Amino acid sequence: MNLQDIHDFGARGHIMGYQTSRTDGKSQLVSARPNVITYRAADLMAKMLGGETSYIPSHIGFIYAPVAKAFDNPASNRDQEWSAIELDIANQNGNMLLCPLTAAPVYGIDGVQARYDNNVVTLGSMSDIAAPLVFSGNDFEMAPPAISDFAFFQVVLVSRKYAPGSTIPQYIPFARAGLTAGTDGIIVQNNADLTVYWTISFK
């Protein structure tokens, strides 16, 4: 996404993925990639500016599939509706762990014209085998990736909210990113998790 005005204001996103050991907590960088911020993200930002705080992104979805399965990364466009993501995953024998953000977003704001480079928000989450499988009700249900027979391919930053009186969540994709440039996923060892930090910067 690149939001621009006549003074070249812009908004861009980037992810950093780390394999984090469950035994000693040590992390190793395994992915650093740009993301695609969706058209819906502009809708969400407008709603948030209007006071609708329930639209603030709250979860990161970790898309995974069997190691031997090639998985196509998302196209470089902003048209990333939830229904399209669901279809992508179904066609490629994948599933998604939907994990809440692990901590409150971290903000960096300076507002000083001479060094206008710290205006960012960073969101973080960690893959959790106890997290719900978003598409587990379909015929491609899979077990959570508790062993290294699975690879992570993509992550999706989403807002999860409920309509008044409804118990069925609505998932609205804010951004999506492939963890690699090609069709190979990132194999996470069975004693580790995948930690993702998602940064949105405004310049």
pLDDT at residue 18, rounded to an integer: 96
Q: Is the pLDDT of residue 86 over 90?
A: no
pLDDT at residue 138, rounded to an integer: 52
Q: Is the pLDDT of residue 54 over 50?
A: yes
Give residue 65's pLDDT band: very low, low, confident or very high (50, 70, 90): confident
User: pLDDT by residue (tens digit) across 174-199?
Assistant: 999 999 988 888 988 888 899 999 99
Q: 3-state SS string over 103-146?
A: CCCEEECCCCHHHCCCCEEEEEEECCCCCCECCCCCCCCCCCCC
pLDDT at residue 59, rounded to an integer: 93
Q: How many CA atoms lie within 13 A of 187 on its CB side?
A: 11
Q: Is the pLDDT of residue 14 over 50?
A: yes
Q: Is the pLDDT of residue 1 over 60?
A: no
What is the C-alpha R_g of the chain? 17
Residue linked to tokens 């009186």: 165
Length of the chain: 203
In angstroms, the CA 11 to CA 182 distance is 25
Q: What is the mean pLDDT of residues 111-126?
A: 74
pLDDT, averaged across the chain: 82
Select the more confidently predicted residue: 138 or 18. 18
Q: Is the pLDDT of residue 24 over 70?
A: yes
Dihedral Cα 38, 40, 46, 51, nearest 10 deg: -120
pLDDT at residue 37, rounded to an integer: 86
Q: Is the pLDDT of residue 114 over 70?
A: no
